[in-house]
Amino acid sequence: MEEARGEGQENIKNGTIKKLAILTGGGDCPGLNAVIRAAVKTACYRGIEVIGIQDGFRGAVEGDFRTLGLKDVSGILPRGGTILGTTNRDNPFAYPTLVEGTLQIQDRSEEVLGRFKAEGIDALIAIGGDGSLSIALEFAKKGLNVVGVPKTIDNDLMATDLTFGFQTAVATAQDALDRLHTTAESHHRIMILEVMGRYAGWIALYAGVAGGADVILIPEVPYQLESIAKAVKRRADQGKHFSIIVVAEGAKPFGGEMVVERTMQGRTDPIKLGGIGAKLAAELEVLTAMETRVTVLGHLQRGGSPIAVDRVLSTRYGVAAVEAALDKDYGMMVALQGQVIVRVPIEEAVHQLKKVVTDDPVLLAARSMGIELGD
């Protein structure tokens, strides 16, 4: 893997790059605007025009473009969300299109390529998670000059140590746990905090350790209800008449399935999870005879201003993405490995999620402190 050439360098030649496009796809997360700002400022100071694509790949299909200059990104560093909008529904390779009153799924990728050519766009910076970067990879295979930037609060993209937005989501969950501690102790209750994490439990694990949880349940470690109940009762025997449980939305019992709220057709992943916290609360009340309450953080984890570490990481990613385009290093994603921004092929980052492994240092630390993982 090659270190991202040019990070921090002063003398970067423009070459033939005159116009860059940038889009944000998939779920929103803190730090998107920081990436956009860094990319636009880096490009503008090198005489490159930047085109913002509205609402992810929908805007690429529909031609919903806007010019982004220095004034457009002024003051957006601390803002949550994305000034370009985003969607996790619109895939140009399978795009819902109304034809003579009938909704049809069509491949409209060639239209996107033609539109980019007509607009004189030399390269695309695609900011997204597994779904959006998978689409970007397909465009790269069709000849589009693409540079990827890894984004997901779940931190489950391969080939990078950290995705921006993750640390802010963890901080949000940790703050919730701090507040739940006081009310749980006052009322001698079990408090369950349900956090995001469909297939990977990074948020639950890190927030649980940072927030002093007694039980942490993640998708990678199927739980047994009896183990959780025993841990709660053991705390009560020690004079601790409350327990704090963090559960990822994708956690499931040993031999069981994830709790699905509903399916939503047209999304990259049609399954919408939700309800594991309520299910767990009802079961634990029966087994422990302790009053149990559930808090579901939901989209609070996606919203708000990014914390400092995510602002810095997002800024580095935005700068590195433009420099990769300047180097014509296409089909690559900028990634953090150790303390260094590197470039890795997009195909190394998608189609396989980065999950918590049994020897993860944070997981091992949790076990050593007696935190119950349910297995």
Q: Is 72 a catalytic residue?
A: no
What's the number of CA atoms in the CB half-sphere (13 Å) around residue 25? 31
Catalytic residue among 90, 122, 130, 154: 154
Q: Which amino acid is residue 195, in one-letter code?
A: V
Q: Kind of pairing, strands 243-248 and 215-217?
A: parallel
- Based on its alpha-carbon atoms, the radius of gyration of the chain, rounded to whole angstroms, reads 22
Residue 309 near residue 302, CB atoms below 8 Å: no
Q: Kind of pairing, strands 292-296 and 190-195?
A: parallel
Residue 318 near residue 36, CB atoms below 8 Å: yes
Residue 173 near residue 193, CB atoms below 8 Å: yes
DSSP characters over 139-174: HHHTT--EEEEEB-TT--BTT-S--BTHHHHHHHHH
**Nearest Cα residue to 7 out of 238, 279, 337, 263:** 337
Total residue length of the chain: 375
- The token pair that represents 366 in the structure block: 């949790």
Cα 16 to Cα 372: distance, rounded to the nearest angstrom: 57
Q: What angle do CA 273, 275, 279 make, to 5 degrees?
A: 140
Residues taking part in catalysis: 154
